[in-house]
Structure 1
Amino acid sequence: MGLVSRPSNIVFIGKKPILTYLNATLTLLANEPTVTIKARGNSIVTAVDVSQMIVKKMSAMGYRVSGVRIFSERLESKDGKERNVSTIEVDVSKN
């Protein structure tokens, strides 16, 4: 089984503390023109919070939300049933 390569400019939101994702996003923004914050389900709230903390609290640095995509993905749950899961992708860029 091979490793799946992921784009280096995506931060996947999970169950860690919000500061973990805030630091990861800011670290990537130091080297990338745009970083995508991606979350599913209940983690969507954290993704929105991270993007807004960067844009509003770090406004002197010139960051902005440059794109938002919302959609549903069909995933198989642990019990084998398929279900739709809401997903959001928020692009944060430096002006």
Structure 2
Amino acid sequence: MTPRGGDDRPEIAYRETPTGHPIVFIGQKPTMTYVFQLVAQLHSGAGAVIVKARGNAIGKAVDVVEVVRRRLLQGQVTIGPISIDTERLTNRDGRDANVSSITISVARTASEPAPPAPPK
């Protein structure tokens, strides 16, 4: 048994940009793993977090940002800028391959708390 309760997958990889914004790299883990990492980074005081993905993980990156924006931190985050690119990588066979990539910036907004719901 590993210290993380039987989960022997590596930790989520993230770094910081030269401006100090953390980067969350999207890969093969479940979507909610990245959602919680993004929320944790935003709650830790980061003004903005960069979400990056390549290839087949692009759709998952969009899902992660949408779950945070629409469900967990509704009205508390702004999205953008979003940039798409094509990276040229060398695959295992030694051939060059074009791989699409996406970078999404997610920032906390300085908003007031939502008013309480009216009584039913």
Do the structures match in fold with TM over 0.5? yes
Q: Which of 45, 70, 83 lines up with 2:84 in the alignment?
A: 70
Deviation for aligned residue 1:69:
0.5
How far apart, CA to CA, are the structure 2 residues paired with 1:59 and 1:92? 12
Equivalent residue number for residue 74 of structure 2: 59
Deviation for aligned residue 1:66:
2.4
Which structure has the larger Rg over C-alpha atoms? 2
Equivalent residue number for residue 86 of structure 1: 100
**Identity rate, percent:** 37
SS where residue 36 of structure 2 aligns?
A: helix
Q: What amino acid does structure 2 have at the position aligned with 1:24?
A: Q
Q: Which has the higher contact order (CA 8 A, sep 6+)?
A: 1
SS where residue 47 of structure 1 aligns?
A: helix
Runs of 4+ in 1 over 3 A off after TM superposition: none
Deviation for aligned residue 1:79:
0.7
- RMSD across aligned C-alpha pairs, in angstroms? 1.1
How far apart, CA to CA, are the structure 2 residues paired with 1:88 and 1:22? 17
Structure number with the higher helix fraction is: 1
Mark the runs of 5 or more structure 1 residues left unpaired by the alignment. 1-5
How far apart, CA to CA, are the structure 1 residues paired with 2:48 and 2:66? 15
How many matched pairs?
89
How far apart, CA to CA, are the structure 1 residues paired with 2:78 and 2:60? 17
TM-score, normalising length: structure 2: 0.71
